[in-house]
Amino acid sequence: MTGTRDRPFILWTVRRTGGTALMALLTRLSTCPTIQHEPFNRNRKLGHVTALVLPEEGVARPVVATELDAALRDALARPKNIKHCIDHLPSALYMALLRVASELGYRHAVLFRRDEAARARSLAWPLQRARGGRRPPRNSTRNCATAR
């Protein structure tokens, strides 16, 4: 029987929670290799699996579970640690990934941020800049918990 350091894991998180820092720590504690973060994003190493359920950006399609499971089994055949954000791809992918990875002996860790409003603001700024906008002035964001 292998030790827990020898078993691959998936870090399930949402964007802007500190997942990259936690993954760096967990990776140092594991003997398994770590694949590129968010490998199921369309432009990443395992994006071809996502294309089964999301062939075009933003247009999900029904997929036969056995087809998706087979693609995931193939993608996970060589153990690897994975960090993936679960807030922007179809849930069918995550459900199948959880099922197949568990069958293959992967461990799972979940990371969420306690202050969801702060996380949403933290995510909105880079998204706004990516669309050509500017960061709001420092005094324009208030703590939602104390807003009246």
The DSSP-derived string for 86-104 is -SSS-HHHHHHHHHHHHHT
pLDDT at 128: 62
CATH architecture of 4-113: 3-Layer(aba) Sandwich (3.40)
The whole-angstrom separation of Cα 2 and Cα 31 is 11
Strand arrangement of the beta sheet that strand 82-85 belongs to: 82-85, 9-13, 107-111
How confident is the model at residue 78, as a pLDDT?
92
pTM tops 0.85, yes or no: no
Please state, in angstroms and rounded to a whole number, the distance separating the CA atoms of residues 19 and 113.
10
Domain chopping of the chain, boundaries: 4-113, 115-148
- How does pLDDT run along the chain (148 residues), one tens digit per residue? 356 678 999 999 887 676 777 888 888 889 999 998 889 988 899 999 988 888 776 666 777 788 999 999 999 999 999 998 887 788 888 899 999 999 999 999 888 767 666 656 666 666 666 666 555 555 444 444 444 3
